[in-house]
Structure 1
Amino acid sequence: MTTNLVVSGNNGMRIPVKVNPNMSILNVLELACTKMKVDYNNYDLKYHNKILDSTSILRFSNIANNAILELVPTTKSKLKSIVVIWLQLEDGLRLSGEFTPDQNLWEVVQSILKDKVINYESPTIIYTRIEIIGKDKLQNKTLKDLGLINGKALLRFLNKKELVEQAHVYVPAERKPKIEEKYNILENSSINQLSNIPELKQQLFEKNEGCTNFEVLKEQQFLKKDIIEKSVVDNTHVKNEEAVTKLSNEDLNNFKASIKYLDERETLLFNIMDGTSVIYKDEEDDFFEPTIRDVTLVFRDLKNYRSQLDDGQLCTNAMKELEKTQNQLNILHKYKKCIVRIHFPDRLVLQSVFKPTDSIGDVTNFIRKYLINESMDFHLFTAPPKTILKEKKTLLEYKCVPSAMIHFSSEIEGGYLKPGVLENIVSANQASIAAYLVSKERKNNEINTNTENIGIIQDPHDRRHVKEEQKIKPKWFKFK
């Protein structure tokens, strides 16, 4: 960091100047001109054939230590003018005022905040990386000391006490307690399980013959840990099965009959900030550590990708278009419906069911039915990255199948949907169950088509017909 500079004058005189990173170029100019006994208003500082801005801070001027600055006559007069100061408070509020460069920072604060200054025990102003803490320091620091002699500037004002720390004193960090929630949940049940399994006991004693007490205890700890982990996995599996079986087919059918859709597209309206929505819990650090299975899967995928690059043939544009068309046909064959959620800026979500071949224009016309002003201008986009959807293209072309999240954007602010539509708002859980019913219906259709195809292949008459055709010998075949 810059601590020493050399200023070269017109007569070849070189003056060393001690500085600190928080000084402005104007302060450096004043110090040099004071030693040379000249008026600083008539000069500028030049570094690498570039005139330095007098309002900039030395820390951000990219000047090396022991650098040589040239003192050159100025082309512009440094007349003091009004400085516009914006004061940003802790709550984000910004207040402004006009001041002269000779006024100190405490006068600036008092003029802008007036009686509210009493609420600050330790008033602090932050400008770039310069912190002025305390009333006394604010009174001794002027706008000119910060390099502010004209233009505009933003100062942050907050309550901040000055930290008093001893240098070169080592303070050891506090030890964090070990978290063993996973093992403490089923500790009692696992101990009982260990005492009730004679096979594990016998196995333990057979392994521990001729071992020391330390090895015996260590083996017992490993066995106990394995049993606890197995019991945790079993219990979580049981809980998941219970959660799935809570909603039977009858419950889902009753729910579908009881819910009131807005139209024949099974449209629902819900609030994304609904309190009944699912609360997600952050995963533990162990979840992000790769296991042996994860590494093997990644290695397998890389190996397959490498083999595809080595053995794959070069594709022309026609072949790529053919492959793209084939993928779209496969998606059309697999998905007959797609779920689209339109997110409005006021956190309301309109969920509906469309066909993959429906265009964005169809979605736009569908949304207009529920708007207060049906003729308002708006556009739809997906993110990230933000892609504005064109009305002529289909949902399939924008990869909105089998489900998509589309955002609504308009220059008009405020309510968008009709009051009658807002009366039929449902919870986020009900909308999720409705979306699950659509996907379940698709899966059932896939299972039915697969069973029909299997039944056709496994027809005994067809098998016999195939065998009879295989027995027929060609006319040209002659066995000698």
Structure 2
Amino acid sequence: MEKRVTILMPNGRRQNVGVKPDMTLLEILETASGKHGFDSDEHCLKFHNKELSLTQQFRFSGLPNNCVLEMETTEKRRTLSNVLVCIQLTDGTRKQGEFTPGSSVWHVVQQLCSEQIEAYASPIIIYMRSEVVGVERMQQTTLKSLGIIEGRAIMRLVDKKPEELKTQANVYKPPSEAKSKAADADDQPSTSRSAIGGAGGGGFALTNDMLKSLKRSAPAEKSSGEKTDAAVEAEKSAEAEQPKYDWGSSSGYTLHKSKKDDQNEDDDDEDEEENAGRPPPVVNIIGPRNAILFSLDAANRHNDDLPDSFFDLTVNDLKMVLRDLKRTASGTEDAPLLTANLRELNRQTAMLAKLNQYKDCVLRIQFPDRNVLQGIFKPHEFLAKVEEFVRGFLATPSEEFQLFTIPPKKVLPPTETLLELNCVPNAVLHFAFVEDRLNAETNCFLQDKYLTQLTSEEGALFAVQKYRIHKASVSSS
């Protein structure tokens, strides 16, 4: 269906403008202004008396089809200033520079990536969801036509054929076998309108057959009798909130800590079978707080292929979905209104419970060169202690830096504790110098003597697991 908007001009006339999803509001304004002889730099677009940003594309503006926009005169003439453009290459490196909005995309690429563009057979610039394919299109496309007229913007430069961009990756559907008409009649649900769609955005619908299977399984659960108090407590502990980053259970080398003496021998046998022929990973402690340094580039990540049966929907899956939906509905509808004092009391209670549960927290500080520094801290320590710990490993410790979390980027104040910053039990912090010039010019953030003592990512996970088991054994004794 053709999309268009109606512009109510200052002279009282109406102008219909055909739009495309990747068309910017600035292009719509210029098209309407050009047909009636108005200067687009002296006017703006409003929707329901709210001024619209001309830099956004129509698909992201939230405007409905066939909407009516008002074109009004601005108080100050719109002037174009230099914009900061950053281009990200396929290897992750970024190059940036200042350009005028009238500069072509090809001029920007030549100025920032002149060496890399020579090796590209089919260069493509991707901004937002707009794709500028080929050198000719880049020469014809300006930054202003992409909606880049102020502030800063980032683009991606890739080397792909245009037809490869239309291919969706990681999608596989095995061919279904031909079934007889009788089998199709038996397997077909009663009515298509009986589906309860959109189970909380779960990606499937609950049909009558699924609900019948749930009802059949319900009497069997009731006949088994009521749950004992121990079973209820076990279920509550199983539904406890999981840590943000579960590093302790991700190592390829497994350690177990049994709580019962009669299970120690069985756990030892399982450890020997699981770790048979696999030596423990090498761990290099390079400083206090069990400091470990490893690189994300050298990490070997294995993505195991899941069997097709993993994606089959079972009755237990449906039970879990319905349970989560009921819990969400009861939490939003039946939740009482809380005052500011009660919300603060709940927050303090949650912090005390977390402080009682976790005696240590593991922090990972990721540097722009993809090196990660790992250390162990106490929940009540201030972030200033973490900054002091990081400064001891820097090649230039005199430079000012900051630690932040993403997304969105939030610079952490050094006067708050790790518990208040929600860094317990685990957290990943990012490192950056206060001066952007140092982040671009500095090739080595850490001292060379520490870069020669790298530990594998598996070794870092193994060190955390071993430390926690050691602390648990000491506290129990």
Q: What TM-score do the two structures reach when normalised by structure 1?
A: 0.43
Q: State the structure with bigger RCO (CA 8 A, min sep 6), 1 or 2.
A: 2
Q: Which has the higher helix share?
A: 1
TM-score, normalisation: structure 2:
0.43
Q: Which has the larger radius of gyration?
A: 1
